[in-house]
Structure 1
């Protein structure tokens, strides 16, 4: 039986994948990735294997099928990304805010995750059951809680567990201005000393770890086995 004590090492059992929804392809600067690193560093310190994927770097065909090349698309890299998602215990969707909404690549990612929602694990549950989801949001306009609510609703709907306080983020002043991590006139970095952001990133990150440990042996399938009538 696995050790679920608060300081137990999770290196052998926990893997996290962060999807960065920036619209900037690599190797361009991504403020969203700076925010991701604040959370990812907490997980790494606890022995979690962390992978960060910049969604815009991948050719995700539009659609809600597992492989859109079977439905007319010329190419689709989602099947390869899906294998990496399937191996993860923790999934964090990170996105900037554009026009008050999650980025377009984040919306497409959610659609492709939804494409897998009909698959079952070996207990007859959703294939996402026993995976833990969180959300990070950045930008310089309002809408952080709105975006997080849409993302986390989507993730729990397909079967992920959402811990308490599973979202965090930073937004600057409305309109054009500094983005997260930009150097300010006084030499500081925008958002780095924001108590609200730092506290919520810490709480979110630790709750993701705690829930991954709690779910290491799986949610009982009484009542949620889709193979039952």
Structure 2
């Protein structure tokens, strides 16, 4: 089973109502669907916790999409022949909770993860119905796996990016697992110890519940209060000889 007895007990022993919430897990592995992803193994734990509490959950791999580089909504309008980001963007828009999962490569998050963040950035100038930046009222987290050091470093950069774009980051919004440094078993490999690692399972559980609690609170409150944070009330000035960014 994906969840251990402690995790199952937490899912049974409460009266919180998380119905109506949607969570999107973007597994930024370099591998397409159909191939083994160790990052997805740990994402499945968080997914199972949320699903057990009535949250609608979807896991997707951006590697399955032809995502052009860039920071615009549709890069076919900027010289690229193909861009499937608009399809993925529809999923992002519908999610109250966004979790980015990434492996560690050379101490950093994957290139796929960075591209996803860049494409999220390209939408950050859009506004919600209150005139706030679009991601206000949504919650973000991240999960990191690998067999080299760097969980906290990757989490730092991913969570910074998400909060800068407007996502709310609750306490303990990251979790991860790394095996012994150097060649060796990864999370889903037999005998890795990853699925049984109490520290990793605890952090993944805390992260999942904190994301759910924060999303529920924001939903119930109608999002972040719209005072002092509306772009329409504070139009950015232009730099000399440069127009304002086009946020249409």
TM-score range, shorter chain: over 0.9
- Counterpart of 2:103 in structure 1 is 96
RMSD: 0.9
In the TM superposition, what is the alpha-carbon distance from 1:181 to its structure 2 partner? 1.6
- Is 1:21–1:93's contact at 8 Å kept on the other side of the alignment? yes
Whole-Å Cα distance in 1 between the matches of residues 193 and 24 of structure 2?
A: 25
The answer on 1:135 being equivalent to 2:142 is yes
User: Secondary structure of 1:215's partner?
Assistant: helix
Whole-Å Cα distance in 2 between the matches of residues 119 and 24 of structure 1?
A: 31
Whole-Å Cα distance in 2 between the matches of residues 9 and 97 of structure 1?
A: 35
In the TM superposition, what is the alpha-carbon distance from 1:115 to its structure 2 partner? 0.3
Whole-Å Cα distance in 2 between the matches of residues 9 and 68 of structure 1?
A: 40
In the TM superposition, what is the alpha-carbon distance from 1:175 to its structure 2 partner? 0.7
Q: Which has the larger radius of gyration?
A: 2
**Correspondent of 1:7 among 15, 22, 32:** 15
In the TM superposition, what is the alpha-carbon distance from 1:28 to its structure 2 partner? 0.4
Q: Moved runs in structure 1, 4+ residues, more than 4 A?
A: none
TM-score when scaled to structure 1?
Answer: 0.94
- Counterpart of 1:205 in structure 2 is 208
User: Secondary structure of 1:60's partner?
Assistant: coil
- Counterpart of 1:218 in structure 2 is 223
In the TM superposition, what is the alpha-carbon distance from 1:10 to its structure 2 partner? 2.0
Unaligned 5+ segments in structure 2 are: 1-13, 235-248
User: Secondary structure of 1:19's partner?
Assistant: strand
The alignment of Structure 1 onto Structure 2 pairs a total of residues equal to 219
Whole-Å Cα distance in 2 between the matches of residues 211 and 193 of structure 1?
A: 27
In the TM superposition, what is the alpha-carbon distance from 1:125 to its structure 2 partner? 0.5
Alignment of 1:22-171 (within 5 A): 22-171=29-178
- Counterpart of 1:3 in structure 2 is none
TM-score when scaled to structure 2?
Answer: 0.87
Offset from partner CA, 1:134-161 (integer Å, 9 cap, x none): 0000000000000000000000000000
Offset from partner CA, 1:86-122 (integer Å, 9 cap, x none): 0100000000000100001001000000000100001
